Amino acid sequence: MHPETHLQLHHTRAAELQAEAAAHRLAAQARRPRELRSRLGWTLVELGLRLAATPNGAKPAVA
């Protein structure tokens, strides 16, 4: 393969990889609020289960 052709293919592939990395970074940033939302949701579920498990009149043991 001619060196100039090889170099051009290298530059094209490098640009494709950079675009793919940029898209991945954007997708990762968009996903972060879901982690917080999920953590908050499971915390509320746990709190609800603790409240439901306590007998009437007893104080719930919330840590």
Helices (H), 1-63: 3-53
The pLDDT of residue 4: 93
DSSP state of 61: -
Q: What is the pLDDT of residue 38?
A: 87
pLDDT in tens, the chain (63 residues): 889 999 999 999 999 999 999 999 988 877 666 778 888 999 999 999 999 887 776 665 665
Q: Are 60 and 54 in contact (CB under 8 A)?
A: yes
pTM assigned to the model = 0.47
Q: Which residues have C-beta within 8 Å of that of residue 62, sequence separation ≥ 6?
A: 47, 50
Cα–Cα distance for residue pair 14/20, rounded to 1 Å: 10
